[in-house]
């Protein structure tokens, strides 16, 4: 049985994750864009980047999109602005 989060994520993925679900600005395909999946203060799951990251109060996933060398994915991910806090939260939950 799927959790609420899994259902919310499936719904969000159907809408597309190549634009900010808050301000609807497309993510730049030419550069590495740091993304965040999480819930806003109203309890709605969003995918965002840039200025809208501050609207996420419960971070569930961090990621990347855009043009980058797949072999450098882990290195790019470690440069994500929320990487350290996300990994600490993830470790605390395990």
List 48's β-bridge partners, or say none: 36
Q: Are strands 45-48 and 33-40 parallel, antiparallel or unpaired?
A: antiparallel
pTM: predicted TM-score of the whole model, two decimal places? 0.84
pLDDT at 42: 97
The H or E element spanning position 59 is strand 56-65
Other CB atoms within 10 A of residue 8 CB: 18
Torsion angle of alpha carbons 84, 75, 55, 49, nearest 10°?
170
Query: Where are the domains positioned within the chain?
Result: 4-87
Q: What is the pLDDT of residues 30-53, one digit of tens each?
A: 788 899 999 999 999 999 998 899
Cα separation of 5 and 54, whole Å?
20
């Amino acid at each position: 049985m799927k959790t609420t989060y899994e259902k919310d994520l499936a719904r969000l993925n159907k809408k597309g994750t190549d634009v900010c679900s808050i301000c609807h600005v497309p993510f730049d395909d030419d550069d590495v864009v740091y993304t965040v999946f999480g819930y806003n203060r109203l309890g709605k799951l969003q995918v965002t980047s840039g200025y809208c990251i501050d609207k996420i109060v419960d971070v569930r996933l961090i990621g990347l999109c855009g043009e980058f060398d797949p072999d450098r994915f882990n290195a790019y991910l470690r440069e994500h602005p929320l990487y350290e806090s996300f990994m600490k939260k993830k470790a605390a939950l395990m």
